[in-house]
Amino acid sequence: MSEVQQCQGSGCTKEAKLQCPTCLKLNISGSFFCSQDCFKKNWPTHKSVHQTLYIPNFPYTGTLRALYPLSPRRQVPPHIERPDYADHPQGISKSEKTAKANTFIKVLNKEEIEGVRTVCKLAREVLDIGAATVKPGITTDEIDRVIHEAIIERDSYPSPLNYYEFPKSVCT
């Protein structure tokens, strides 16, 4: 007796009767749909799983796949203050290594605490903008672009960018 599969269509909970023919050819498992109409409706988002894989033999367990090659690294204007890892070839933060070597906890003064509050508010704004961008069919690269631009508009440096060579402004 074969296992009953649920439709992978967005918001659909029906029993699946069909499989994506392209996924079958590419040996991508888990692409089940309840009907041809549901498959067509979900095609704009589903087709992204067919992209050529950077790591073709990676044992993915579901239908979600990494998309390579990555888009070029986004630039940060020169007037924005940069952390020490921003221009390091391996993205290593020397100040972080120094701080980890210390055994004391720094107590912030009122001015420094206010600075942390300001930064937290900016971060919340950017996260809200990023969250509003997320919906079916939007790529992680588009989310990265929106968040990168929101951070730059606030004259800030996107902290993940080049941190240990991380290529994007947000981890999605």
Q: What is the pLDDT of residues 109-137, one digit of tens each?
A: 999 999 999 999 999 999 999 999 999 88
pTM equals 0.63
The confidence score (pLDDT) of residue 69 equals 67
Per residue in 100-121, is it b (16+ CB within 10 Å) or e — as a string? Answer: eeeeeeeeeeeeeeeeeeeeee
**163/82 Cα distance (integer angstroms):** 11
**116/89 Cα distance (integer angstroms):** 28
The confidence score (pLDDT) of residue 130 equals 96
Task: Give the residues of the chain that fall short of pLDDT 50.
Answer: 1
Report phi then psi at 28, rounded to 5. -100, 120
Which of 76, 80, 79 minimizes the C-alpha distance to 161? 76
Residues 6 or more apart from 122 whose CB is under 8 A from it?
154, 156
User: Could you please report the per-residue DSSP string of 58-69?
Assistant: ----SS-----S
The confidence score (pLDDT) of residue 1 equals 44
The percentage of residues in the chain with a pLDDT greater than 70, rounded to a whole number, is 91
